[in-house]
């Protein structure tokens, strides 16, 4: 099952107390996040037309959940896997200007996910996107934004500590920046996942940058779709999670592709057929705003702040019966 059972695990809160804490974290975080990042909350779709090209292809191998609708004969709908592209289109249609942005609750189904302590087939996150100028498409903008998000998460730790002092996890004081190339040079004999664990354990919290392009060894650090993040201006926020002895990804984000980087990345990824999709045509023709954006896992943030051993403790989903049984024997109560 890929299941990790921490020794002498104690959740500190009952299931009902946990539900109360989840609501408190979600309500408080999104208000502060929207205020600090200058983002407006908007509604978002659960599904999109397959032909629109708006769905996120993730690593290119995950199968989206699809279905038909009586009112759209011959069309397939897909449950979103993320809103990376849809948000950028919304910013244009709603008339957002540089410095303005949006956030939304994104709910997705990832049917091919391997279920373990950190992964569920149900994804819930705050998806956000902000308009920037072409001149702001640089590493300084990216790092400044990451520091703001880290500051908001740290403030949430203090808020949770005030209400649930026995349950809260104390987070590091700062975040460290490193690129995937620097990480490869530092740990050439480790796998990408082992490198992430090693560097995050050393610093406590890391923003790992430049994910998607090939490294010196000919392989990318991790897969990234070629049509939303600029592979030179993106990254993941990772916290060291000693309860499970691994790095915990809280956010994947980045400055989005412009006409040039999209053109290059589509070719590198062997995805030139996407050039004919409506969304990609608009982007290549310079008809969409320049943006920065990403997602912050809602359940993962609750898991981190409440120091929980399994994402199923803070999220209602489906789990194998054997996993439920083993977890229940160790005070890990899956919702």
| Continuous segment of H or E residues that includes residue 28 | helix 15-37
CA distance 172 to 203: 8
236 is a catalytic site residue: yes
CA end-to-end span of the chain, whole Å?
18
Q: Is 195 a catalytic residue?
A: no
Strand 122-131 relative to strand 101-109, pairing:
antiparallel
Spot the catalytic one: 249, 251, 265, 308.
249
**Residue 252 among the catalytic residues:** yes
Instruction: Answer yes or no: 174 catalytic.
Output: no
- Residues with Cβ within 8 Å of residue 311, at least 6 apart in sequence: 117, 118, 119, 120, 299, 300, 303
Q: Select which of 26, 88, 110, 308 is catalytic.
A: 110
Rounded (10°) angle between helices 15-37 and 139-163: 140
The one catalytic residue among 82, 180, 251, 252: 252
Q: What tokens does 170 get?
A: 């104390």
Q: Are 266 and 226 in contact (CB under 8 A)?
A: yes
Asked about 56 being catalytic, the answer comes back as: yes
- What would the two tokens of residue 267 be? 């070719």
Convert 83-94 to b/e letters by CB count within 10 Å (16 or more is b). bbbbbbbbbeee
Under 8 Å between Cβ of 331 and 13:
no
Which of the following is catalytic: 56, 78, 227, 230?
Answer: 56
Catalytic residue among 30, 81, 120, 125: 125
d(CA 311, CA 301): 10
| 129 in active site | no
Q: Give the residue numbers annotated as catalytic, written as ranges.
A: 56, 110, 125, 236, 249, 252
């Amino acid at each position: 099952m890929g299941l990790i059972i921490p020794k002498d695990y104690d959740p500190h809160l009952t299931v009902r107390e946990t539900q109360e804490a989840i609501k408190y974290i979600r309500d408080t975080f999104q208000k502060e996040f929207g205020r600090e990042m200058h983002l407006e909350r908007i509604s978002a779709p659960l599904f999109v037309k397959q032909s629109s090209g708006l769905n996120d292809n993730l690593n290119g191998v995950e199968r989206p959940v699809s279905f038909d609708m009586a009112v759209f004969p011959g069309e397939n709908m897909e449950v979103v896997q993320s809103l990376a592209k849809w948000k950028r289109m919304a910013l244009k249609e709603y008339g957002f200007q540089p410095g303005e942005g949006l956030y939304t609750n994104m709910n997705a189904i990832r049917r091919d996910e391997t279920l373990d302590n950190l992964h569920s087939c149900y994804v819930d996150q705050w998806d956000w996107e902000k308009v920037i100028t072409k001149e702001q498409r640089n590493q300084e903008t990216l790092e400044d934004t990451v520091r703001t998000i880290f500051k908001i998460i740290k403030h949430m730790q203090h808020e949770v500590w005030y209400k649930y002092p026995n349950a809260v996890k104390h987070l590091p004081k700062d975040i460290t920046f490193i690129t995937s190339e620097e990480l490869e040079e530092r740990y050439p004999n480790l796998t990408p996942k082992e490198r992430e664990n090693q560097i995050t354990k050393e610093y406590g919290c890391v923003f790992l940058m430049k994910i998607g392009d090939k490294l010196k060894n000919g392989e990318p650090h991790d897969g990234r779709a070629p049509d939303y993040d600029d592979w030179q201006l993106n990254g993941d926020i990772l916290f060291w999670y000693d309860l499970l002895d691994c790095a915990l990804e809280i956010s994947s984000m980045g400055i989005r592709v412009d006409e040039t980087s999209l053109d290059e990345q589509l070719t590198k990824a062997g995805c030139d057929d996407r050039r004919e999709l409506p969304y990609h045509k608009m982007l290549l023709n310079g008809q969409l705003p320049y943006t920065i954006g990403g997602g912050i896992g809602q359940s993962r943030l609750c898991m981190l702040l409440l120091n929980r051993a399994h994402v199923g403790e803070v999220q209602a989903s489906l789990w194998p019966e054997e996993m439920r049984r083993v977890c229940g024997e160790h005070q890990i109560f899956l919702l």
